[in-house]
């Protein structure tokens, strides 16, 4: 998009991937996957997030800037139910590798 | 010091450990394309683009059945979402997130109504007639990037779009 002449902001819950890909402008938000703009029917909360995103468009001066937005999701992470009802095909396929990664992380 | 977002805060420990393996420890130091704003935000034409797997009901849904058969494949196509679309007009298909929230309120991922409000209030220039959804699970993004997105870029140009908000699912 950016190479085609459009200015972009990515509103993302996972700004860490910026280290791998390199986004032009990043607005990082601590919201769960599938609801990065805000809660269902919370127009005021969604509006607040988006006004901050628009300010990122304005204040970013060079490629690669990351802005961490000041919002906190009201639920405990384990209560957010962001995940699909059934394990995704790729997770089923790689389950052994995922468990191994967990074990190695725990061992460190 | 201000808030620093932990991108894996909402995932369980096993998934965090696995996903983190894919994240470099050093900042990105390659080429990043850049298009500076040509006008203030209040004069810009915006479009919105999400990877949440949304389609309007008159369009075919993203292909979940093929991904179930071929777990490393993700649908590389894109759907147009008109600016006045509501949750009543859409289907949502995605094997990696809970889609029920988007089905209740499209704005949690594709905030078309919020941007129309911004347009009415003069906060932005306007929302373009067309927004977009693609499908975010792409282990190989070649078809999405080389075949699908150039067509999207052409339509964005036709509609006079200056800026795009991207909302990954």
Å between A36 CA and nearest CA of chain B = 6
For residues B140-153, give the mean pLDDT. 92
Q: Which domain holds residue A16?
A: 10-75
Query: Which pTM was predicted?
Result: 0.94
Smallest Cβ distance to B28: which of A19, A58, A72? A19
Q: Which of B32, B66, B151 is the best substitution to test chain A (most A C-beta atoms within 10 A)?
A: B32
Å between B71 CA and nearest CA of chain A = 5
Task: Verify whether the Cβ–Cβ distance A28 to B7 is below 8 Å.
Answer: yes
Secondary structure class of B141 (helix, strand, coil): coil
List, for residues B52-62, the tens digit of each pLDDT value: 999 999 999 99
How many structural domains comprise chain A?
1
Flag whether the ipTM exceeds 0.90: yes
Residue A48 at interface with chain B, using a CB cutoff of 8 Å: no
> With helix as H, strand as E and coil as C, how does B41-75 read?
HHHCEEEEEECECEEECCCCCCCHHHHHHCCCCCC
Host H or E run for residue A46: helix A43-59
Q: What tens-digit pLDDT sequence spans chain A (108 residues)?
A: 898 999 999 999 998 888 888 899 999 999 999 999 999 999 999 999 999 999 999 999 999 999 999 999 999 998 999 999 999 999 999 888 888 888 887 766
Please list, in sequence order, all residues whose beta carbon lies within 8 angstroms of the beta carbon of residue B134, skipping any fewer than 6 positions away: B49, B50, B51, B76, B77, B78, B79, B144, B148
Residue A58 at interface with chain B, using a CB cutoff of 8 Å: yes
Task: Verify whether the Cβ–Cβ distance A6 to B163 is below 8 Å.
Answer: yes
List, for residues B23-78, the tens digit of each pLDDT value: 888 888 889 999 999 999 999 999 999 999 999 999 999 999 999 999 999 999 99
In a domain, A97, yes or no: no
Would you list the domain boundaries of chain B? 38-167
Residue A45 at interface with chain B, using a CB cutoff of 8 Å: no
Phi-psi region of B161 (alpha: psi -120 to 50; beta: other; left: phi over 0): beta
In a domain, A86, yes or no: no
In a domain, A33, yes or no: yes
Task: Verify whether the Cβ–Cβ distance B166 to A77 is below 8 Å.
Answer: no
Please list, in sequence order, all residues whose beta carbon lies within 8 angstroms of the beta carbon of residue B74, skipping any fewer than 6 positions away: B67, B135, B136, B137, B138, B139
């Amino acid at each position: 998009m950016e190479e085609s002449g459009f200015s972009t902001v990515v509103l993302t819950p996972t700004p860490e991937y910026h280290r791998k890909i390199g986004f032009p402008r990043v607005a990082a938000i601590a919201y769960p996957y599938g609801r990065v703009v805000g809660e269902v029917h919370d127009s005021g909360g969604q509006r607040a997030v988006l006004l901050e995103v628009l300010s990122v468009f304005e204040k970013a001066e060079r490629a690669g800037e990351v802005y961490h937005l000041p919002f906190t999701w009201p639920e405990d992470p384990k209560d957010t139910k962001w995940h699909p009802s059934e394990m995704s095909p790729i997770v089923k396929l790689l389950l052994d590798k995922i468990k191994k990664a967990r074990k190695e992380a725990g061992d460190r | 010091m201000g808030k620093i977002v932990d991108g894996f805060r909402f995932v369980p420990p096993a998934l965090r450990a696995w996903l983190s393996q894919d994240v470099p420890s050093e900042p990105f130091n390659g080429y990043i394309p850049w298009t500076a704003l040509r006008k203030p935000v209040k004069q810009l034409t915006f479009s919105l683009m999400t990877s949440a797997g949304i389609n309007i009901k008159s369009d075919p849904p993203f292909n979940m059945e093929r991904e179930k058969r071929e777990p490393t494949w993700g649908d590389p196509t894109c759907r147009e979402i008109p600016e006045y679309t509501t949750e009543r007009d859409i289907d949502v298909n995605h094997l990696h997130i809970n889609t029920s929230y988007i089905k209740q309120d499209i704005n949690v991922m594709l905030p078309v109504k919020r941007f129309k409000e911004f347009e009415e209030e003069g906060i932005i220039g306007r929302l373009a007639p067309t927004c977009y959804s693609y499908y975010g699970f792409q282990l190989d993004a070649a078809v999405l990037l080389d075949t699908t997105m150039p067509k999207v870029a052409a339509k964005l140009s036709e509609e006079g779009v200056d800026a795009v908000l991207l909302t990954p699912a």
